[in-house]
Amino acid sequence: MFDLEKEIKKWKKSLQKHEVFEDGLIADVEFLLRDAYEDQRQAGLPEEAAFRQAVSLVGTAESIAAEYNKNRLVMLNRRSPLRPGRFMPALIWNYIKTALRSIRRQKGYSFINISGLAIGLAACMLIVLWVVDEWSFDRFNINAGQIYRVYYDESAKRESSTSVLTPPPMAAALKRDFPEVIKATRFGWWRKPLVTYKDKSFNEPGYRNADPDFFDIFSFPLVKGDPETVFSNPYSVVLTEKTAAKYFGQEDPIGKILTVNNTFDVIVTGIIRNESLNSSLEFDLLSPFEIILKEFIGEEHRENWGFNSFATFVMLEPSASAENLNQKLTGYLKKYDDEDTNKLVLQPLTDIHLFSNLGHDLSNRGDIKYVWIFSVLAVLVLLIACVNFMNLTTARSANRAKEVGLRKVVGANRPQLIRQFFGESVLMALFALVIALFLLEFLLPLFNTLSGKQLTSAWLNNPALLLGFIGLALLTGIFSGSYPALFLSSFQSVRILKGTMSSSGANPLFRKVLVIFQFSLSVFLIIGTLIISRQLSYIRNIDLGFNREHIIHLSIHGELHGKYGAIRERFLQNPDVLHVTASMTLPVDIQGSPGTPEWEGKPPDAKMEIKADFVDYDYIETFEISLVEGRSFSREYATDPETAFIVNEEAVRRMGLEKPVVGKRFGFWDIDGQIIGVMKDAHFQSLRQKIDPLVFKMFPPWLRRMYVKFRSDNVSGTLASLEKTWKEMNLGYPFEYRFLDEDFHDLYSSEERLEKIFKSFAALAVFIACLGLFGLASFIAEQRTKEIGIRKVLGSSTAGIVALLNREFLKWIAAATLIAWPIAYFTMHAWIQKFAYRADIEIWVFLLSAAIGLGVAMLTVSLQTLRAARANPADSLKQE
């Protein structure tokens, strides 16, 4: 029996197989079929035949579905009327609220994120302040772009040899011979003069001399005096405010008379304010250059092109090109000296501070290398902080997943979510910025001792700098937010809302890579610190071959030089004084050389550059230099001051002399003498250099430094009594001394600074990385609370659980260490090569770095895991 309804139901089912047939559409087609069926029945067909006919008239399910499908595609291609606007201001408040809520709800993580970023930002900001300061050197000069220093390039004669010291006539000659040179000045000094005003007298190492053009070229602000006329009188002097206060206190200094070296007077004509200026040219007192010619070196040197002792600065026309002038300067010196093949080169004033490494250069130079090292370290620390942020945010992403799902369901698209999360990370970074600005205030004094600078919080009244800091914070926010934003916004709402998303958050591999990156950096910095301090302690403790302990030295210039003998006698009367001697240069860094000496049996073509110092009796004894052969200079031999030489073993080796060396003929310049002693090789130079051939010769007129060696048991008492003796002798010079040991340490001050910097940055890096690790450990412990509970119930011990949780971190840190080792090895190996005498890079340094890295990391992680392992399993298991 044919059942129409049943057949229709069956037919409808065949339609339902096709997705496009929504219920309404099926009803449409069903009524069509019924109409067709009724028509067929009226036409006289029996029930079943009428139904078949109607079905064939309506068409197959496939063909109808295909038609509907076309419509659906058209529909999908059209803009959905529900599409949200690009920017919905109404949501901003919601975003801020959500961000603040998630910061508040996860106080611990937010603290770690924000404080890490704050420390990183503060470190970066310090470096920015420092770099800005380094770059600002000499740029206060209005004409900085037109000012050049002239230097000699002697590479034609000797390899890579340059000198900034030029002769007195050069400045005027350049101005005369080249129209583009509009101003020129000499700048220099001659010994350290003694300056006296009434009862006050000081040695003035900062006394400089320059030509009147100086004030047109440079922009040192004159507080008193007229730049046009301050130098009209050759016997005038311009003081800095500080120096003026030192001599005259509150009195008006203008017109006052100062006495120099107790021989001539100068009148104060101007006061300069230079305390806050970053200038390569430093001075406390400035007098016309004429004084040097008239009072010190003699007028005969006015046109002496060989008297290379002063710097020359020129200012070019604004339109002139330094390159053109440099070309014209090639061969220029021949005009004044036929044999002078040296090249003259112009060096921009603004290059002097950071990019100059010329012979006899100014002392307060910076080093572009340090700018780089500082900058890279700061960026690394900030990177570690950013990594913390990425890691913790993505690890905890499961907490935000529902929010993401819901936002997507109600119409948020991915770009909107990305913007939301970027907004959050930027907000965090701005919080961090505020904290960092406070930190900066706190860290500045510390940093100043590290960097040897006097930086102040200049950002307060420097809008550009403040904007820069804000920019830095924004960049940090965007960078650290990039991965979390992309990651969180990629969640599929279906999976989140169905609950099929894993709660472990981001791709754990990526997180591991980030942690490994952090710890590689930390371990690298630890190794760097260890190797630098080892090298420094090696330098401090190496047996130099002479004794530098308990020795002070005093300058014996000017009139003091003539009184040296008398001072010596008086000092030696003091029972605590062991020796008194003198020499030309400090024994910690003897660099002077008379060129190639002559010796007995010298092959005609032999060349050997020898370093030399001129010394007094008792020199060998004072510094406890051991002699391998012969004797020291002695008063018993009348010829010693004239013809005696003491050489070191290296010189003997290089000269190829056979034993006995003593008695062999030796000499340089036109002194013909003999070797009276051979001393053991000792480090009279920086340990960056190999021990060079060295010779000591007596030469009383050239003694410039006096050394006093005394007993170690009563240092301050001895010094006080020496000072008393000094004053009693009424020498007219202040008692100014320095310990030789200080000078020795000064040789390595740049390495010591590097060590301190590495130490602080390593500490910062390890600290921030541990902050992140702490957060990550607590996250993982929290995630595995149930597992830990079950393990405990089943009998696991606290120690066992801690070990279980720590194992994973241990693996990461071990991987990080393995990565850091080779990088650190190659970097530090390259650094240590600049020392001729160096501590070996030993394996234990690497092992220790690993131990420190692992130790600190495990301590951090264990703080968390221990808490998780100790928790009562009942608490974690009773929920749900």
Partner 1 sequence: MISKTLMAASTRPIILAILSRGEDYGYNIIQKVKDISGGHLEWTYGMLYPVLQRMEMDDLIASKWKLSGKSRPRRYYTITGKGRKELASELISWRNIWQALTRLAKPIPAED
Q: How far is the CB of 36 from partner 1 (least distance, A)?
A: 6
Asked if residues 264 and 235 have their Cβ atoms less than 8 Å apart, the reply is yes
| Complex with partner 1: residue 57 or 91, whichever CB lies closer | 57
Nearest CA-CA partner of 215 in 313, 321, 356, 302: 313
Task: Show the tokens assigned to 341.
Answer: 């093949």
Q: How far apart are the C-alpha atoms of 516 and 816, rounded to whole Å?
A: 5
| Complex with partner 1: residue 75 or 464, whichever CB lies closer | 75
Q: How far is the CB of 70 from partner 1 (least distance, A)?
A: 7
| Complex with partner 1: residue 81 or 255, whichever CB lies closer | 81
* Among 11, 29, 405, 792, contact with partner 1 (rule: CB under 8 A): 29
- Residue 423, helix vs strand vs coil: helix
| Complex with partner 1: residue 28 or 228, whichever CB lies closer | 28
| Complex with partner 1: residue 67 or 337, whichever CB lies closer | 67
| Complex with partner 1: residue 3 or 35, whichever CB lies closer | 35
Q: Provide the H-helix boundaries in 306-413.
A: 322-329, 352-355, 368-395, 397-409
Asked if residues 520 and 387 have their Cβ atoms less than 8 Å apart, the reply is no
Q: How far is the CB of 779 from partner 1 (least distance, A)?
A: 51
Residues 108-147 vs partner 1: string with x where CB under 8 A? ----------------------------------------
Which listed range, 33-41, 393-401, 441-449, 639-647, lies at the site for partner 1 (CB under 8 A)? 33-41
| Complex with partner 1: residue 69 or 321, whichever CB lies closer | 69
Asked if residues 267 and 236 have their Cβ atoms less than 8 Å apart, the reply is yes
* Among 19, 35, 609, 642, contact with partner 1 (rule: CB under 8 A): 35
| Complex with partner 1: residue 18 or 602, whichever CB lies closer | 18
Q: Is the peptide bond before 660 cis (omega within 30 degrees of 0)?
A: yes
Dihedral angle at the C-alpha atoms of 517, 518, 519, 520, nearest 10 degrees? 40
Instruction: Give the 3-state secondary structure percentages of the chain, helix then strand then coil, rounded to 5.
Output: 55, 15, 30
Asked if residues 658 and 649 have their Cβ atoms less than 8 Å apart, the reply is no
Dihedral angle at the C-alpha atoms of 681, 684, 688, 689, nearest 10 degrees? -60
Asked if residues 839 and 535 have their Cβ atoms less than 8 Å apart, the reply is yes
Q: Return the H-helix or E-strand segment holding 588.
A: none
* Among 4, 8, 25, 628, contact with partner 1 (rule: CB under 8 A): 25
Q: How far is the CB of 115 from partner 1 (least distance, A)?
A: 58
Asked if residues 122 and 443 have their Cβ atoms less than 8 Å apart, the reply is yes
Q: How far is the CB of 85 from partner 1 (least distance, A)?
A: 24
- Residue 710, helix vs strand vs coil: strand
DSSP of 99-164: HHHHHHHTHHHHHHHHHHHHHHHHHHHHHHHHHHHHHTTTTTSTTGGGEEEEEEE-TTTSTT-EE-
Task: Show the tokens assigned to 777.
Answer: 């450990």
Q: How far is the CB of 411 from partner 1 (least distance, A)?
A: 22
Q: How far apart are the C-alpha atoms of 385 and 388, rounded to whole Å?
A: 5
| Complex with partner 1: residue 35 or 782, whichever CB lies closer | 35
Q: How far is the CB of 53 from partner 1 (least distance, A)?
A: 11
| Other CB atoms within 10 A of residue 174 CB | 21
Q: How far is the CB of 52 from partner 1 (least distance, A)?
A: 14
Task: Show the tokens assigned to 428.
Answer: 């965090």
- Residue 680, helix vs strand vs coil: coil
HSE-CB at 425 with a 13 A cutoff on CA atoms is: 30
| Complex with partner 1: residue 71 or 136, whichever CB lies closer | 71
Q: How far is the CB of 6 from partner 1 (least distance, A)?
A: 19
Q: How far is the CB of 5 from partner 1 (least distance, A)?
A: 14
Residue 718: what residue type? T
Which listed range, 22-30, 131-139, 295-303, 693-701, lies at the site for partner 1 (CB under 8 A)? 22-30
Which listed range, 34-42, 309-317, 356-364, 832-840, lies at the site for partner 1 (CB under 8 A)? 34-42
Which listed range, 31-39, 280-288, 516-524, 587-595, lies at the site for partner 1 (CB under 8 A)? 31-39
Q: How far is the CB of 16 from partner 1 (least distance, A)?
A: 15
| Complex with partner 1: residue 79 or 807, whichever CB lies closer | 79
| Complex with partner 1: residue 78 or 83, whichever CB lies closer | 78
| Complex with partner 1: residue 54 or 117, whichever CB lies closer | 54
| Complex with partner 1: residue 64 or 474, whichever CB lies closer | 64
β strands within 300-422, DSSP E: 311-316, 343-348
Size of the site for partner 1 (CB under 8 A): 21
Q: How far is the CB of 774 from partner 1 (least distance, A)?
A: 59
Q: How far apart are the C-alpha atoms of 275 and 346, rounded to whole Å?
A: 28
What are the residues facing 551 on neighbouring strands?
709
Q: How far is the CB of 8 from partner 1 (least distance, A)?
A: 13
The CA distances from residue 599 to 96, 158, 606, 651, 738, in Å, are: 86, 23, 10, 11, 37
* Among 10, 17, 34, 200, contact with partner 1 (rule: CB under 8 A): 34
* Among 3, 19, 28, 441, contact with partner 1 (rule: CB under 8 A): 28
- Angle of helix 368-395 relative to helix 463-489, nearest 10 degrees, comes to 40
Q: How far is the CB of 59 from partner 1 (least distance, A)?
A: 3
Interaction with partner 1 in 43-102: which residues (CB under 8 A)?
57-60, 63-64, 67-68, 70-71, 74-75
Interaction with partner 1 in 490-529: which residues (CB under 8 A)?
none
* Among 4, 8, 18, 32, contact with partner 1 (rule: CB under 8 A): 32
Q: How far is CA 214 from the centre of its chain?
A: 33
Which listed range, 27-35, 42-50, 128-136, 139-147, lies at the site for partner 1 (CB under 8 A)? 27-35
| Complex with partner 1: residue 32 or 871, whichever CB lies closer | 32
Which phi and psi (to 5°) does residue 754 adopt?
Answer: -60, -40
Binding site for partner 1 (CB under 8 A): 25, 28-29, 31-36, 57-60, 63-64, 67-68, 70-71, 74-75
